[in-house]
A and B are shown apart, each in its own frame.
Chain A
Amino acid sequence: MHIPDGFVSTELSVAAFAVSGAVAAVALKKAGKDLGEKQVPLLGVTAAFVFAAQMINFPVLGGTSGHFMGAVLASVMLGPLNAFIVMLLVLSIQCLGFADGGLTALGLNVFNMGVVGGIIGYYMFRGILAVSGKSKNGYAFAVGAASWLSIVLASSVCAFEIALSGTAPLRIVLPSMAGVHALIGVGEAVITVSVVSLVAGVRPDMLHTRIAEAQA
């Protein structure tokens, strides 16, 4: 899902840099103001964790594999804007340090995985949670459903961007991207739910959403 250079039109790249840049400005300003100095190591280590976790492949079908994205996990743990910062860090380091994802497509990749995956993923989680109820199972269901949706939505947005740029037609890229990622999303959901349950059991203080509920 890391878009390389040359796959999207100049207009779309520039627009995405503007949107992602504006969200980054808001998120970083808020982080600088709200976060105690303790949060700098926490955000940095979480980004390093997402990077490392993305290297562990999970099985998909008959031996093929996908890898974890982690945007909803980060947003359930840290809140939407901090999750955006984590994805921004991971994607920038992958692009500049490892040539993974294009430089001119960085704005789009941050939009797809940070804004769509992290921020919209978080509000999908809150929305589903309001319906599914705040029991243990309802919480796990909301985490899993939002994780699956975040993957399918981010990959569909990516397909739209490639199609809008004239690189490949929508009727080819959208079904193939969304289809493959509907499966990969199942893995993302299974993993996110088991990670969040583990953290909720062992370190509930580390879950932003649990704290929010206790206050509500």
Chain B
Amino acid sequence: MSGHPGDEHSGHTHSERHAAPRSLDARAKIFIFFSTVIIGVSTPVTSPRAFAAYFSAVVLISIALRAPLSVFLKRLIVVLPFVLFIAASAPFAAREAGESARPFLGGSLLVTDRGIEAFANAALKGALGVCALTALSLSTPFHEMLAGLRWFKVPAILVSLSAFSYRYMFVLVDEASRMKRARDSRGWRGRWVWQSGVVGNMIGSLLLRSLERSERVYSAMLSRGYDGSLPMAELPAPRLTDFIVAVVFFSAIMSARLFLT
């Protein structure tokens, strides 16, 4: 569960504590990392040099943006086994009629070229997506990301609902981990699915507390003059360097896509 807000007891994400004071503009970062993922996913897996270029570009810019690499690695270590696990079913299974297969592990399993390609495709692109999105989230405070997405014409109601949810996630995740600690300190050790009722009661109390909190929050908002629209953070005007970095990075990724495949 690393990377989820419950690990951070301060109620702030790493990005908010570590981001460089005058980091790259949020719109530029969204543009850079979104286009890396989209271009990466569209690249045929038979061009390893292009993928090497994408990964190097993401690592280099993450270092430049001072995204904390330790957290970066921790999140990758948590997510990657899952990606590999799903992808690993491919080499042994993707066999079509008439295709030759090679024995693997003493002949108990059969591997095909098409299967290995399917595995490499899913594993490489899955990992690239995790790296790019991790770099984006670690280098961009969430409210700046939302303001950037608003600029890219994401509907205002979606952006304000997200801002609201994100704010209360940390509060409720803390509440949930306190409840877990209380349960575990009383010696609960569920091993089987029919013992899930205990978790049901916990989640039920969490829900009631959340609903009551939402009512208190609503009254507090009303008392501060809430009229149905949430104020959004304004992004500072982009600087020339933001444009240059975005254009240079995009050109690098695009040329890797065009000339290294």
Identify the A interface with B (CB < 8 A). 4-7, 10, 13, 24, 28, 31-32, 37-38, 40-49, 51-53, 55-63, 68, 73, 85, 88-90, 92-93, 95-100, 102-104, 162, 166-169, 171-173, 176, 183, 186-187, 190-195, 197-199, 202-203, 206
Contacts and interface: CB of A to CB of B under 8 A. Distances in A.
B89 A206 contact: no
B20 interface: no
B4 to A, nearest CB: 6
A203 B128 contact: no
Given A195-B203, A202-B208, A99 B197 contact: no
A37 B121 CA distance: 46
B128 A37 contact: no
Given A5-B125, A93-B166, A96-B136, A203 B203 contact: no
A194 B200 contact: yes
Interface of B: 1, 3-4, 6, 13, 34, 37-38, 40-42, 75, 79, 82-83, 86-87, 89-90, 93-95, 118, 121-126, 128-130, 132-134, 136-137, 142, 145, 155, 157-158, 160-162, 164-169, 171-173, 175-177, 179-180, 190-197, 199-208, 210-211, 213-214, 217-218, 221, 226-228, 230
Contact of B164 (A7, A45, A49, A92): A45
Contacts of A38: 218
Given A55-B1, A99-B130, A48 B196 contact: no
Q: A-side binding surface: helix, strand, loop or mixed? A: helix
A52 B200 contact: no
A51 B165 contact: yes
Q: In this complex, which of B133, B155, B218, B228 has the most chain A Cβ atoms within 10 angstroms of its Cβ?
A: B133
Given A59-B193, A92-B162, A190-B196, A198 B217 contact: no
B125 to A, nearest CB: 2
Given A56-B176, A104-B129, A168-B118, 15 more contacts: A4-B83, A5-B130, A28-B158, A42-B211, A45-B164, A45-B213, A53-B176, A68-B203, A98-B4, A162-B86, A168-B89, A169-B95, A191-B199, A194-B200, A199-B208
Contact of A44 (B137, B164, B192, B211): B164
Contacts of A44: 161, 164-165, 167-168, 214
